[in-house]
A = this chain, B = another copy of it.
């Protein structure tokens, strides 16, 4: 049975989104890396807006902004991040934060906490706010971010950690950052799982030599060894992967990089993602088989990045699905997230879900990232409706 749609104030949502965009604006994009002056100013402004909405606002030592509802629990935590890529779009993260604020305002009688996590984008080590909140050791992060925190006037404040027993669920609204909703003509996406990410650095060593005087059979060419490895790996992944798998060799550095010199070093990054741990395990096998099969074995460091997939909570998915059907009948789908999100960490602590709105042209991490205004409002209404459903039901 579809839930009754909750009314939200779309103009207020849009106005706040545009104000947040103004912090670090650069053309249609935004430069608001964690702890930059623009990020610090934006977070101070967010705290003011949370306070104005009747929430108890705080900013922690890293910069995570939390708005605690004074209403009696159980509570729902909603939010995302307000830091950006070096030059990011105006909605990545920001949409989830302002959407959360609007949901809290639209449901003034419920216990809706709002949050903007710090450094999701990895200006420092990434996912700083959500790692801290979910109980990770933050010693290294504190050391790395002390100077920025001091400059912001936040040094000495406590780390925001989750309040035990407070939350029934967490929801992160976000733009899709891909083109599947647009391609399918849907306006909302209920996330089923967030991909796991495995990433390796693979370095091939060769012998630098003259490209004219060194016969083919006496060469030790690091670049050709790399080319053959990636070609073989691509074929192996084609067999091992599932329908949702993606793999990317995004960084290739060849040295010395001159036309007439046989390269002595090729240094690449191999990354692969899948929402299913079993598929990731098959891809791990394919990767190591390719390394072993390489005529000259490359150096492979310990996995650089090893994030396990996160399944979204079934009950939260149901509440979001009901809300989607209530606000946009037949115009939504279930889908996995190919990008990492703070929700991945939250899912280890409490029932967590995500709602996607479409990205025009599938564009993200770029200045021309955008979403139709009507979809921004619809997504907010769906989240508010889901929250009302979750807090109305039995504990």
Q: A246-272: which residues lie under 8 A (CB-CB) from chain B?
A: 246-254, 257-263, 266, 269, 271
On A, residues with C-beta under 8 Å from B are 176-180, 183, 195, 197, 199, 208-216, 218, 221, 223-224, 227-228, 230-231, 234, 241, 244-254, 257-263, 266, 269, 271, 273, 304-305, 337-340, 362-366
Given known contacts A212-B338, A227-B230, A254 and B257 CB-to-CB distance under 8 angstroms = no
Q: How far is the CA of A215 from the CA of B243 in the complex (A)?
A: 9
- Measured between beta carbons, the chain B residues less than 8 angstroms from A261 are 250, 365
Distance in Å: Cβ of A120 to nearest Cβ of chain B: 13
Distance in Å: Cβ of A273 to nearest Cβ of chain B: 5
Instruction: Determine if A259 and B252 form an interchain contact, defined as CB atoms under 8 angstroms apart.
Output: no
Given known contacts A210-B178, A214-B179, A364-B210, A250 and B246 CB-to-CB distance under 8 angstroms = no
Pick the residue among B213, B251, B254, B266 that contacts A362 (CB under 8 A): B213
Number of identical monomers bound together in the oligomeric complex: 2
Q: How far is the CA of A208 from the CA of B271 in the complex (A)?
A: 16
Pick the residue among B180, B212, B257, B269 that contacts A195 (CB under 8 A): B212
Distance in Å: Cβ of A276 to nearest Cβ of chain B: 15
- Measured between beta carbons, the chain B residues less than 8 angstroms from A210 are 177-178, 338-339, 364-365
Instruction: Determine if B271 and A249 form an interchain contact, defined as CB atoms under 8 angstroms apart.
Output: no
Instruction: Determine if B273 and A212 form an interchain contact, defined as CB atoms under 8 angstroms apart.
Output: yes
Given known contacts A210-B338, A231-B227, A259-B269, A215 and B252 CB-to-CB distance under 8 angstroms = no
Given known contacts A212-B339, A213-B177, A213-B178, A260 and B231 CB-to-CB distance under 8 angstroms = no
- Measured between beta carbons, the chain B residues less than 8 angstroms from A271 are 211, 259-260
Q: Knowing that A178-B210, A212-B273 touch, tell me 19 more A-B residue pairs with CB under 8 angstroms.
A: A177-B213, A178-B213, A197-B212, A210-B338, A210-B365, A211-B246, A211-B250, A211-B273, A212-B338, A213-B337, A215-B338, A216-B246, A218-B362, A224-B230, A248-B262, A251-B257, A251-B258, A252-B252, A259-B271
A-B CB contact pairs (8 Å), 15 listed:
A176-B213, A208-B366, A210-B365, A211-B248, A212-B340, A214-B338, A215-B338, A224-B234, A224-B249, A227-B231, A248-B259, A250-B254, A250-B261, A250-B263, A259-B304
